[in-house]
């Protein structure tokens, strides 16, 4: 089964549909399977005190103005749906509250996503699981008990899912990746396990692919120096193309694990073992 590659646009569109479309184009050109966004109801996710606090941004001088500037509305998402359909790529979004998940239902996306921060929000998990869509569940900032509760909710609802090993630092240090957790989670919960990465480079993601990750999610950007908190932990277009090209080569290179020589090795073996009177039929 091919690794499912998700281009995480998140909020790197900076509230601009043209930028969002350019990022979708990047994902399509690179060969990603889907793009993902984020959706929040600000008054449910943040306190009024926080929203009213000062923050300079292109949209104003408060946290509310900054965060509102990053949110797409129903008309925007309808355009995103139309654009993705025309480009032949799936899209979906991670909701950070119940209202946002209900909002997303109108677009009938094929997939759902539980962000690492939301894996402990059991009411949200139950709502997502009730939809029965294949769901990617990120495990950053989580204990084994947190993950077990989430898995139990999705299994009780008979909702298909896979976990995504994740370390929630932005950008993540390579030495913090702990990719061995991919195998640990797979064995512990008997399910597919992907990888959601926030590192600056590509090597760790290649490692996740080689370790059998079922899915791979990386943030993409038009430029890491653009405005936004996630841009520095994102991959630019050329890097994303390189990532997907490398992952597909790794998939081919993994093979079936069967021991024995390849047919293409036979003439080489005959030549190099000629002095031993060796042939493939007598080999043991």
Distance in angstroms (rounded) separating the CA atoms of residues 219 and 230? 8
Residue 28 token pair: 């399509």
Question: With bands split at pLDDT 50, 70 and 90, how would you rate the model's confidence at 23?
Answer: very high
Q: How many CB atoms lie within 10 A of CB 215?
A: 22
Count of beta carbons in the 10 Å neighbourhood of residue 144:
12
Q: Using pLDDT thresholds of 50, 70 and 90, give the confidence band for residue 242.
A: very high
Q: What's domain 4-257's superfamily in CATH?
A: Aldolase class I (3.20.20.70)
pLDDT-based confidence at 282, cuts 50/70/90? low
pLDDT tens for residues 128-166?
999 999 999 999 999 999 999 999 999 999 999 999 999
Mean pLDDT of 204-232: 96
- 3-class secondary structure, 59: coil
Reduced to 3 states, what is the DSSP secondary structure of residue 199?
Answer: strand
Over residues 33-45, mean pLDDT: 98
pLDDT digits (tens, 9 = 90+) for 77-102: 999 999 999 999 999 999 999 999 99
- The DSSP annotation for 104-143 comes to HHTT--SEEEE-GGGTT-HHHHHHHHHTT-EEEEE-TT--
């Amino acid at each position: 089964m091919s690794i499912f590659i998700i281009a995480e646009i998140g909020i790197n569109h900076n509230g601009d549909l043209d930028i969002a479309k350019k990022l979708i184009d990047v994902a399509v050109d690179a060969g990603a399977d889907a793009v993902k966004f984020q959706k929040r109801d600000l008054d449910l996710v943040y306190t009024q005190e926080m929203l009213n606090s000062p923050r300079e941004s292109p949209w104003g001088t408060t946290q509310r103005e900054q965060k509102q500037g990053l949110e797409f509305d129903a008309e925007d998402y309808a355009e995103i749906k139309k654009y993705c359909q025309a480009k032949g790529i799936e899209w979906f979004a991670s909701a950070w509250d119940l209202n946002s998940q209900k909002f997303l239902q109108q677009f009938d996306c094929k997939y759902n996503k539980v962000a690492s921060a939301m894996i402990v929000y059991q009411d949200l998990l139950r709502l997502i699981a009730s939809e029965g869509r294949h769901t990617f569940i990120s495990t950053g900032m989580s204990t084994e008990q947190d993950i077990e509760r989430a898995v139990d909710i999705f299994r009780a609802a008979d909702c298909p899912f896979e976990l995504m090993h994740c370390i929630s630092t932005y950008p993540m240090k390579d030495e913090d990746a702990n990719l061995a957790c991919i195998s640990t989670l797979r064995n512990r919960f008997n399910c597919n396990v992907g990888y959601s990465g926030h590192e600056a480079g590509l090597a760790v993601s290649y490692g996740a692919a080689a370790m059998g990750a079922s899915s791979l999610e990386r943030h993409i950007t038009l430029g890491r120096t653009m405005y936004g908190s996630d841009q520095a932990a994102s991959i630019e277009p050329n890097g994303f193309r390189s990532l997907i090209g490398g992952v597909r080569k790794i998939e081919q290179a993994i093979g079936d694990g069967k021991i024995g020589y390849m047919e293409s090795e036979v003439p080489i073996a005959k030549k190099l073992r000629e002095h031993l009177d060796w042939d493939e039929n007598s080999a043991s």
